[in-house]
Chain A
Amino acid sequence: MLPDVPAFDFSFCFMFINWAQREITLKIVYYGPGLSGKTTNLRYIHNNLNPSLRGDLITLNTKEDRTLFFDFLQLELGQILGKKPRFNLYTVPGQVYYSQSRKIILSGVDGIVFVVDSQIERLEDNLDTLLDLEQNLITMGRTLKNFPFVIQFNKWDLPNTANIDALQHKLNFYQAPHFKSVATEGIGVLETLKAIINQVVIHIQQKV
């Protein structure tokens, strides 16, 4: 007989638990400016994951192959201590124009990966998008300061990347875990995913 768990209020998290099926579903959103590599992260995860553990990669793109609404990938791990964890990974459209869509996708988020385009000339775009993210979180009654959050400094293979200290100083004002990455080659992608999942689970444990 399964334990009956009628309800549980959990003010900082949105996770969904189906006690009858012993499933926990968590939502992770990849946020960042346009062309920073959010979809590339998901594509790499999709291509390198055991096919029996993942669903299709759903992409809602414009004709120019830019994200129009979101990408979606479900990652379903095997049983862990009798429970089935599921992670729903989403990206947001990075272009400034789609601000309303980003708000919709953030709804119900459990953890955020901020994908930075590390090139010097994109510094302001990164900052604008980070502020847009924080603003959206504030309207949802939360802040990056105490939310599961990881920063990924992407495109680290390019010659014109900014200095890591400068990037950290300018963007990582809450000292979130951070990773250098080359998403096209998968460098740093799995580390980032593991770090955000870890943050989300720790966050849940701390709030109990």
Chain B
Amino acid sequence: MNLGHGGNNGQSIVLSGEMYKAISEILSDLASKTRARAIIFSDMNGHPITQRGTSADINISNMSALAAGGFAATTEIAKLIGEKKQFKFIFHEGEKNNVYLSNVGDNFLLIIIFDSQTALGMIRIYTKRAINALTELIANVTDTEQKITQFVDVDFNKYLSEELDKAFKF
């Protein structure tokens, strides 16, 4: 898998246990330095991968899906005005909370939700460092083929169908 390509190129993303741990450590470090309410690492399609922070009341799935949608729309705006790449970051300013969004390579997104009292400059500095570390980490993934049958085998489909039936008969 080549993680350096854009999300439209058709590859799936399989995250190893080791990689997941390394990403989580970078996020923990960023969380302790910035004391952000929440930090979410998601893919560009809005699938959350891992998160850190001090607030448990944020719906991570919804946040990732909406942030990825917004980020994609904003990237199209960048194209429309002749930018060669997406905007470096997107900042939403609220009364109590702010949101800072930045891409990590072409396939991932970092979402940081922080108190409006926290200095944006500090968030930017630490986030930039975290993004560099994450980008380096992701770039070092070696291409290795791995069978996925362990994950989605024939039985999986059968049980999935049964689970779906159960889900609607509650």
Contact = CB atoms under 8 A, between A and B. Distances in A.
Interface of A: 2-21, 24-25, 27, 48-51, 53, 55-56, 58, 60, 69-70, 72, 74-75, 77-78, 80-81, 83, 85, 88, 100-101, 104-105, 107-108, 140-142, 190, 193-194, 197-198, 201-202, 204-205, 208
A69 B65 CA distance: 12
Contacts of B12: 8-10, 13-17
Contacts of A49: 167-168, 170
Q: Give the interface size bracket for B toward A.
A: 35 or more
A2 B155 contact: no
A161 B161 CA distance: 31
Contacts of B3: 7
B93 interface: no
B17 A141 contact: no
Given A10-B148, A19-B15, A74-B61, A201 B156 contact: yes
Q: What 8 A-B pairs are tightest by C-beta distance, nearest first?
A: A108-B45, A20-B20, A7-B1, A50-B170, A10-B12, A20-B17, A2-B17, A104-B72
B160 interface: yes
B144 A88 contact: no
B52 to A, nearest CB: 15
Contacts of A202: 157
Contact of B144 (A7, A17, A20, A69): A7
Contact of A81 (B43, B141, B148, B155): B155
Interface string B2-17: 1100011111111111
A47 B145 CA distance: 41
Nearest to B159: A80
B146 A5 contact: yes
Contacts of A107: 7-8, 44-45, 72
A107 B142 CA distance: 24
Given A17-B15, A58-B66, A198-B161, 18 more contacts: A5-B14, A5-B16, A6-B146, A9-B145, A15-B12, A16-B15, A16-B45, A48-B168, A72-B66, A77-B164, A81-B153, A101-B73, A194-B161, A194-B164, A197-B164, A201-B160, A205-B152, A205-B154
